[in-house]
């Protein structure tokens, strides 16, 4: 399942590739996890997910018909809510504020950081 709001500069093939987790931050208020990922071609994104599963640096996310599998384990699938190009300023903001459902960060806001 593709995120409903992907950056327009990404191709379908780039979205459907394996991603390696660099870092993640959990907002406990909303159960949202923000994940910094990188592709084999060094394309970096911040992926927004809603999951109870822990994502650790080095984990692999691969496409699955219901979302993305963690480390090729069909029992560990996450749904992607959104994805934005990686921006250091945005990532630092997420680390500090941990926005949740009460404090939404729109694509426009994310791209402006």
In order of start, what are the domains of the chain with their CATH numbers? 12-97 (2.40.50.650)
Percentage of the chain lying above the pLDDT 90 cut: 35
Each residue of 72-111: pLDDT tens digit?
A: 999 999 999 989 899 999 899 888 876 554 444 444 554 4
The reported pLDDT for the residue numbered 87 is 92
Per-residue confidence band for 27, with pLDDT thresholds at 50, 70 and 90:
confident
Token code pair at residue 110: 């994310």
For residues 14-20, average pLDDT? 75
Euclidean distance between the first and the last CA atom of the chain, given in angstroms as a whole number: 27
Per-residue confidence band for 54, with pLDDT thresholds at 50, 70 and 90:
confident
Compute the half-sphere exposure of residue 9: CA atoms within 13 Å on the CB side of its CA.
7
Strand partners, 85: 45
The reported pLDDT for the residue numbered 101 is 43
């Amino acid at each position: 399942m593709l995120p409903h709001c992907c950056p327009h500069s990404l191709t379908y093939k780039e979205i459907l590739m394996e991603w390696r987790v660099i870092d993640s931050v959990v907002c406990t208020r909303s159960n949202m996890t923000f994940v910094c990922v990188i592709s084999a071609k060094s394309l970096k994104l911040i992926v927004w997910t809603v999951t109870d599963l822990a994502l650790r640096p080095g984990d692999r996310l691969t496409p699955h018909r219901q979302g993305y599998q963690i480390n090729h384990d069909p029992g560990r699938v996450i749904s992607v809510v959104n994805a934005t190009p990686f921006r250091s300023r945005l990532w630092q903001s997420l680390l500090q504020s941990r926005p949740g459902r009460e404090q939404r960060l729109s694509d426009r806001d994310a791209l402006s950081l």
